[in-house]
């Protein structure tokens, strides 16, 4: 991640800039995987480009990221509903303010939720609103040379999108400058770059190979 100060980061932190208005779905709705309406199914999503954690006017940027999730196929009577669990995540090629950084996570169990899905169709064409909650155990270590700046990140990304069709034969999860995260336990080596309780936003777009997931 390349961490740099941005004059416009305040605008990014103001909220989620949705690429398109997500459809809102009527309950009950069914999540299927390759036509199966039951059981757990593993998927992997890879970031399309850089992912960015912004806090205190500074960006922590990673050039590569992958997440693994388990999709819980079934029928859901209400929303938000935890239709998948993110159970692995990795980032590499990270830097902050020009200094190398590492980002790691231990035993994630984050909930990927559909939020008020409605107007869903059986066709693989819907764009649905969502959120990721219960984010924790994310550790950041920035090597400043004479000292290390370490801190943790937790919270949620409160808005996002799931695209059943990304126009390239796959599917996509978008999180665009979504607020809801908090910095905690910064070390003395952070030298005021971040403070305990500093709010943070996350921006990243992840591709899933194929069109396996359908909400109908």
Q: Is 190 helix (H, G, I), strand (E, B) or coil?
A: helix
Number of domains in the chain: 1
Q: Is the entire prediction scored with pTM above 0.75?
A: yes
pLDDT at 71: 96
Residue 155 maps to a domain = yes
Residue 77 maps to a domain = yes
Residue 2 maps to a domain = no
Residue 3 maps to a domain = no
Residue 170 maps to a domain = yes
Residue 210 domain boundaries: 9-215
Residue 56 maps to a domain = yes
Residue 1 maps to a domain = no
Residue 67 maps to a domain = yes
**Which stretches of the chain are assigned E, i.e. beta strand?**
29-33, 40-47, 51-55, 58-72, 74-76, 81-96, 99-105, 110-114, 127-143, 148-163, 171-184, 199-208, 213-215
pLDDT tens track, the chain, 216 positions: 333 333 232 333 333 233 333 444 456 889 999 999 999 999 999 999 999 999 999 999 999 999 999 999 999 988 788 999 999 999 999 999 899 999 999 999 999 998 766 667 788 888 888 899 999 989 999 999 999 999 999 999 977 889 989 888 899 999 887 779 999 999 999 988 899 999 999 999 999 988 999 998
179: burial class by Cβ within 10 Å (0-12, 13-18, 19+)? Answer: buried
């Amino acid at each position: 991640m390349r961490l740099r100060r941005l004059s416009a980061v305040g605008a990014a932190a103001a909220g989620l800039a949705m690429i398109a208005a997500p459809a809102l779905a009527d309950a009950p709705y069914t999540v299927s995987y390759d036509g199966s309406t039951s059981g757990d199914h593993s998927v992997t999503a890879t970031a399309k480009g850089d992912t960015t954690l912004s806090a205190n006017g500074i960006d922590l940027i990673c050039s590569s990221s992958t997440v693994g999730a388990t999709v819980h196929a079934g029928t859901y009577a209400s929303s938000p509903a935890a239709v998948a669990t993110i159970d692995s995540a990795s980032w590499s090629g990270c830097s902050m303010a020009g200094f190398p950084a590492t980002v790691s996570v231990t035993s994630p169990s984050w909930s990927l939720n559909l939020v008020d899905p409605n107007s869903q169709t059986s066709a693989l064409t819907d764009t649905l609103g969502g959120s990721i909650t219960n984010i924790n155990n994310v550790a950041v270590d920035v090597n400043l040379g004479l000292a290390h700046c370490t801190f943790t990140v937790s919270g949620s990304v409160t808005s996002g999108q799931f695209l059943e069709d990304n126009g390239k034969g796959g599917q996509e999860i978008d999180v665009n400058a979504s607020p809801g995260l908090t910095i905690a336990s910064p070390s003395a080596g952070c030298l005021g770059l971040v403070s305990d309780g500093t709010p943070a936003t996350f921006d990243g777009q992840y591709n899933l190979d194929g069109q396996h997931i359908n909400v109908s």
